[in-house]
């Protein structure tokens, strides 16, 4: 995710990092080259007796803009829901630890075990959503026997939840927590499970491919044919207007592709590394630890991973 301070409107016109322009500039250059070629071949083009007007492009352009708007709204809704789920994850983790710590008091070994399980859950969820290996990261938070048991599953997050459930059941058997407190703490585990399920639903259910494909094809066919309609009226201004219109449509199409998968590592995806780091710091701080992990900050391009 790009996290920039407020900028003057004129400076923002020339921002590169965080803009989809760095992904689509080659396509815009192709459109520019096509527009220039159409200008040179205009005399021959006119001899064919074929003349495209801007009228159909005006109608088609409005239709494309409407459908691109719908698609971007749908993709942003996915992004927003994903961010809401991770926000809920942070809230649930803090509430879970606060209640457990208030009940168990100063039993540091018991609380530290719970903190490690909570952090392991966040890290496992992050890495699973990004389709990365989890074992190396989980080594820092889980005991060896627990790690081996978790890694036997295709869904390590759920097994870590089971470990937290076993931890909670063990405290109940020892008489350290009452049935009422157990029910309240177990409710937090259900919330964590719901967050994981919601993230898996977003990651596993993309926007229908046929809908994405028809918009993608229509946008590029529109941008390819546009110079032929503009050249008879605009002549040497054709490349400028054609590239500007193409930039508008192609950038919206590309941005929707980024927002559709909010758990990735592109510039406009969720900063899951930073969110997990924030949760880890908060839990250790609540635990009274002074050895907090270093805070993840944006890089020199204002990018927060």
Once rounded to an integer, what is the mean pLDDT over residues 185-209? Answer: 94
Q: Any alpha helices (H) in 261-305, and if so which ranges?
A: 272-286
Residue 290 is given by DSSP the state S
- Per-residue pLDDT, 107: 64
Average pLDDT value over all residues in the chain: 89
Query: By mean pLDDT, which of 11-20, 70-79, 242-251 is the weakest?
Result: 11-20
- Per-residue pLDDT, 165: 94
Helix (H) or strand (E) holding 154: none
- Of residues 116 and 296, the one with the higher pLDDT is 116
pLDDT band at 46 (very low <50, low <70, confident <90, very high): low
pLDDT above 80 (res 79): yes
Q: 21 near 251, Cβ under 8 Å?
A: yes
Angle at 284 between CA 281 and CA 287, to 5 degrees: 150
Share of the chain above pLDDT 70, in %: 97
Q: How many Å is the Cα radius of gyration of the chain? A: 27
Query: By mean pLDDT, which of 13-17, 145-149, 259-263 is the weakest?
Result: 13-17
pLDDT above 80 (res 43): no
pLDDT above 90 (res 83): yes
Provide the 3-class DSSP secondary structure of residue 16.
Answer: coil
In the block, tokens 């159909």 appear at 56
- Per-residue pLDDT, 232: 82
Once rounded to an integer, what is the mean pLDDT over residues 88-111? Answer: 86
> What is the rounded CA–CA span in Å between residue 101 and residue 216?
53
Q: 267 near 18, Cβ under 8 Å?
A: yes
The string of pLDDT tens digits covering residues 121-169 is 999 999 999 999 999 999 999 999 999 999 998 899 999 999 999 999 9
pLDDT band at 8 (very low <50, low <70, confident <90, very high): confident
pLDDT band at 185 (very low <50, low <70, confident <90, very high): very high
- Per-residue pLDDT, 108: 67
Angle at 214 between CA 211 and CA 220, to 5 degrees: 135
- Per-residue pLDDT, 200: 95
Share of the chain above pLDDT 90, in %: 56
- Per-residue pLDDT, 123: 95
Residue 293 is given by DSSP the state P
pLDDT above 80 (res 181): yes
What are the boundaries of each domain within the chain? 89-205+271-291
In this structure, the number of other CB atoms found within 10 A of the CB of residue 190 comes to 12
Once rounded to an integer, what is the mean pLDDT over residues 94-109? Answer: 83
The string of pLDDT tens digits covering residues 271-297 is 999 999 999 999 999 888 878 888 888
pLDDT above 90 (res 103): no
Q: 231 near 42, Cβ under 8 Å?
A: yes
pLDDT band at 87 (very low <50, low <70, confident <90, very high): very high
Instruction: Name the most confidently modeled range: 171-175, 181-185, 188-192, 297-301.
Output: 188-192
> What is the rounded CA–CA span in Å between residue 178 and residue 176?
7
pLDDT band at 55 (very low <50, low <70, confident <90, very high): confident
């Amino acid at each position: 995710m790009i996290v920039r301070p407020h900028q003057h409107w004129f400076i923002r016109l020339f921002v590169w990092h965080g803009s989809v322009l760095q992904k689509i500039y080659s396509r815009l250059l192709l459109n520019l080259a096509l527009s220039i070629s159409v200008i040179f071949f205009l005399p021959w083009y006119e001899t064919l007796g074929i003349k495209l007007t801007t009228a159909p492009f005006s109608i088609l352009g409005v239709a494309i803009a409407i459908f691109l708007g719908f698609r971007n709204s749908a993709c942003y809704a996915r992004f927003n829901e994903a961010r809401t789920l991770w926000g809920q994850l942070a809230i649930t983790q803090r509430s879970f630890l606060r209640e457990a710590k208030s009940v168990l008091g100063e039993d540091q070994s018991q609380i530290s075990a719970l903190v490690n399980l909570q952090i392991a859950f966040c890290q496992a969820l992050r890495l699973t959503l990004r389709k990365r290996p989890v074992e190396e990261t989980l080594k820092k938070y889980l005991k060896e026997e627990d790690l081996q048991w978790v890694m036997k599953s295709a869904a390590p997050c759920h097994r870590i939840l089971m470990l937290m459930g076993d931890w909670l059941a063990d405290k109940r058997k020892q008489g350290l927590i009452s049935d009422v407190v157990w029910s309240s703490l177990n409710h937090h585990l259900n919330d964590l499970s719901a967050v994981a399920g919601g993230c898996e639903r977003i990651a596993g259910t993309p926007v229908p491919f046929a809908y994405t494909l028809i918009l993608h094809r229509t946008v590029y066919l529109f941008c390819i044919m546009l110079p032929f309609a503009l050249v008879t009226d605009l002549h040497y201004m054709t490349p400028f207007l054609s590239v500007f219109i193409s930039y508008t449509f192609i950038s919206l199409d590309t941005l929707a592709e980024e927002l559709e998968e909010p758990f990735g590592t592109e510039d406009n995806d969720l900063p899951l590394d930073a969110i997990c780091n924030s949760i880890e710091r908060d839990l250790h701080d609540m635990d009274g630890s002074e050895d907090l992990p270093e805070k993840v900050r944006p890089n020199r391009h204002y990018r927060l991973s």
